[in-house]
Amino acid sequence: MHIIINTAAYAKFSGAQLKIMPIDLTWKTLTETVPALHFDRTTVTEPPNILSFLRKRKYNADFELTAKQGADTMAYIALLQEKLGPALLHTFWVDVENYSNVTRPWFASRTPFPLNLFLPGRQSSVALSRILLTKGEPPLHNISDVEAKIYSEAKECLNLLSHRLGTSQYFFGNTPASLDAFVFGHIAPLHKAILPSGQLQQHLKQLPNLGHFCDAIIKTYFVENASGLPPASQDTVDANLQKLTQLVNKESNLIEKVMSCFACICSLFLSACQIVFFMFCFPPFLTQHVCKHTGSASVVDVNGGLV
């Protein structure tokens, strides 16, 4: 999620005129890489390659940075990826409440049936495996210890970013650079999402300068308002997001009910197939005949003798 926002923010800061096209995960696009930049019959994938491609065409958000600021940028980006990235993965993809009420319905809404039944779960498993692989070294042998570690490191990272930003509008001067894009990409989802379980989100709310940083970038670079009217208030945006989440949740619940009925039908069908298979492959050794001797039914074996 955040790598796509990183790339989009950098393109906005550098002045590149890009048209962002959301895609649905279908059988055709399932193996494609996002984000991907399409330009004049050329396709560039992976964020570092996209940023390099833009810089070669004079779209460079770091053009005015000094050597020291460039080194600081690399250090802070590494810090974000190592300390904050795993906590974001856990918050959106592993935390049960957030995954069930926010991430899964949202992800499934952009994925057609039947992919929406198993792709979100697969993404959740991949996220958990990645967290355990990078943060589950001894002596952290269970997920509870790993969770405590990643959230502690993430809060420390947010504190460092807040201290570095201070009262400035951006991290280096009055214009945003690549560090601003990476920080925005990491904390904007945490700042804007409505999460039922959000210990990291609550910690972010205690750092108001980071929240103002996100709001300013959204208002300046991501609010398209061609009519000239003032942008919608934050309360309106939050209300619309909440309505969308509720709508997606209802759709997800309906899909689950339909799939439950479908599973029952499949179970009955399989049972019927098993009975038919048994009847054809294993004929009974005794055949029942109804005999009208004294008005009672008799059981006759295959040789005709009464049992």
The pair of structure tokens assigned to 284 is 């009974």
Helix/strand/coil for 297: strand
Residue 236 has pLDDT above 90, yes or no: no
Mean pLDDT value across residues 197-222: 93
pLDDT-derived band at 32 (thresholds 50, 70, 90) equals: low
Point out the least confidently predicted range of 43-47, 57-61, 216-220. Answer: 43-47
Report helix angle 234-281 to 115-135, nearest 10. 110
DSSP tally for the chain: helices H, then strands E = 12, 4
The pair of structure tokens assigned to 126 is 């991949």
Better-predicted residue by pLDDT, 102 or 269: 102
Mean pLDDT value across residues 204-222: 93
Residue 177 Cα distances to 78, 172, 287, angstroms:
16, 7, 86
DSSP 8-state assignment for residue 28:
T
**Of 249, 239, 76, the residue nearest 172 (C-alpha):** 76
Point out the least confidently predicted range of 161-165, 241-245, 303-307. Answer: 303-307
- Amino acid 173: pLDDT: 83
- Amino acid 87: pLDDT: 93
- Amino acid 34: pLDDT: 72
Point out the least confidently predicted range of 5-14, 47-56, 62-71, 265-274. Answer: 265-274
pLDDT-derived band at 116 (thresholds 50, 70, 90) equals: confident
- Amino acid 147: pLDDT: 87
What b/e readout covers 183-192, taking b as 16+ CB neighbours within 10 angstroms?
bbbbbbbbbb
Point out the least confidently predicted range of 5-14, 142-151, 203-212, 255-264. Answer: 255-264
- Amino acid 31: pLDDT: 56
- Amino acid 290: pLDDT: 43
Better-predicted residue by pLDDT, 63 or 2: 63
- Amino acid 178: pLDDT: 93
Q: What is the mean pLDDT of the chain?
A: 78
Residue 69 has pLDDT above 90, yes or no: yes
Better-predicted residue by pLDDT, 66 or 283: 66
Mean pLDDT value across residues 14-25: 78
- Amino acid 217: pLDDT: 94
Give CA–CA dist 187/194, Å, rounded: 13
- Amino acid 222: pLDDT: 85
**162 neighbors 153 (Cβ within 8 angstroms):** no
Give CA–CA dist 82/88, Å, rounded: 11
pLDDT-derived band at 212 (thresholds 50, 70, 90) equals: very high
pLDDT-derived band at 250 (thresholds 50, 70, 90) equals: low
Q: What residue spans of 141-207 are helical by DSSP H?
A: 143-165, 178-192, 199-205
